[in-house]
Structure 1
């Protein structure tokens, strides 16, 4: 179960050689979080900040800021990646892909993979086991219809419950990313079998724009560049970056993502890849 037993040791000092393909020094995975249309009255990460906290019912301003990510921002982020021949992971809420049926085929044709990001803005940590099982079932079914194949992995929106990981194993998900505690994948025991965890990030994450921790694209570029440079110098790590089209998709912020991507492609021995490919590699090279 997630959180049932905390492991504060992990790999410790003797971290394994990930043996990334072709001897790459560093693996880079960019997750594009598509959530627009999946919000359910909950205040989302937008440029409004907390301005709409007293809006009764639907916050139409916040909804419109969300819609920008689906109508405009996604296509700008998609273009920046495809122009450089870089794959990404589509971390998508099922209702968001239902609301914009153009996104899934565009991502799939660009060589991206799909990671389930829930049905909508669901708080799994508040659900009982039957509610959560039903929510996961509905999300996987919807995403399978939108994508044309079931998602291989799962990432809750913010926090899982204590039973989430067991329910994901029941549904046959190959990995989950409901962790922030490492820079390499690792195996855990769940319901008598080994289950793969590929940690996500709240550090290399453009939610810092909405929280006021990043102000300009230069803030984002310097932060992500420094993370890349440290891990590249160390070797043997994995850099996960999370972007939201309603945030990074704006022109002034997309400029920072473009500079970061150019910094990445200027280096040799870097494996820019999908999360599903990382999962396959770990199963083949580091079987439990």
Structure 2
């Protein structure tokens, strides 16, 4: 299934986005990107940003603090070499350890992390007296529902995303709104599922006042327009 994502799924999603002139953020383990040079070149050519998904596919909760610090260092070095730029965000597999966010702040050059599901908008938090931006992710608007039994068809996925999008658009008339959609090439890349993604993105295109952007762009906007203010 993971090979399918690399061989087929990624390229189908790439085409779907390119045909609609849409961008995305790529969540990727550094070693996986290092070992898929064709995908690396495609990410660069399309201007996607990288949110690092760890150095390799492992659970950070099982690492010691020193081991995790070293994994972060290795991942940055790897992505700097393959992508020509360091990652601006960091997202752990199956959740962070108790040390992750502090280690990211200690490293000092990450713009944000999305290891949170507790809000729909970015927010500032304080880590060791320093402001740190969280840009929440979503497991609701996520193709993981195909393997968890939440949806079975591309049409069901489209309907779920469309209803979320339409509600946020209505609410957005009076307050800022952000929608994250999580996709995995090995899941959404299959034809019947990808058809639902196409339907959803075509629906988004009927709303010219909606900004489709990278997570790095969201973080940049927050830094520029919302001064650090730690939530209670």
Q: What TM-score bracket applies, with the shorter chain setting the length?
A: over 0.9
**Per-residue Cα deviation, 1:1-31 (whole angstroms, up to 9, x for no partner):** xxxxxxxxxxxxxxxxxxxxxxxxxxxxxxx
C-alpha separation between the residues in 2 aligned to 1:230 and 1:158?
Answer: 28
Higher relative contact order (CA 8 A, sep 6+): 1
Tell me the residue number matched to 1:169.
Answer: 105
C-alpha separation between the residues in 2 aligned to 1:132 and 1:274?
Answer: 26
Q: In angstroms, what is the RMSD of aligned CA positions?
A: 0.9
Pick one of 174, 189, 193 that aligns with 2:130.
Answer: 193
1:138 Cα offset (Å)? 1.1
Mapping 1:124-203, distance limit 5 Å: 124-171=60-107, 172-203=109-140
Pick one of 163, 187, 190 that aligns with 1:247.
Answer: 187
1:158 Cα offset (Å)? 1.5
Question: Contact between 2:34 and 2:40, CA under 8 Å: does it hold in 1?
Answer: no
Unaligned runs of at least 5 residues, structure 2: none
Question: Contact between 2:24 and 2:213, CA under 8 Å: does it hold in 1?
Answer: yes
Tell me the residue number matched to 1:279.
Answer: 219
Higher helix share: 2
SS of match in other structure, 1:102 = helix
C-alpha separation between the residues in 2 aligned to 1:252 and 1:120?
Answer: 30
C-alpha separation between the residues in 2 aligned to 1:208 and 1:96?
Answer: 23
Tell me the residue number matched to 1:229.
Answer: 166
Tell me the residue number matched to 2:154.
Answer: 217
Pick one of 87, 103, 110 that aligns with 2:39.
Answer: 103
C-alpha separation between the residues in 2 aligned to 1:262 and 1:222?
Answer: 13
Pick one of 21, 42, 49 that aligns with 1:85.
Answer: 21
Question: Contact between 2:138 and 2:181, CA under 8 Å: does it hold in 1?
Answer: yes
C-alpha separation between the residues in 1 aligned to 2:65 and 2:85?
Answer: 26
C-alpha separation between the residues in 2 aligned to 1:99 and 1:74?
Answer: 14
C-alpha separation between the residues in 2 aligned to 1:78 and 1:68?
Answer: 14
**Per-residue Cα deviation, 1:72-129 (whole angstroms, up to 9, x for no partner):** 1000000000110001001111121112111122122212111111112221112111
C-alpha separation between the residues in 1 aligned to 2:44 and 2:204?
Answer: 22
Unaligned runs of at least 5 residues, structure 1: 1-64
**Runs of 4 or more above 2 Å deviation:** none
TM-score for both structures, normalised by structure 2 = 0.94
Higher strand share: 1
Tell me the residue number matched to 1:76.
Answer: 12
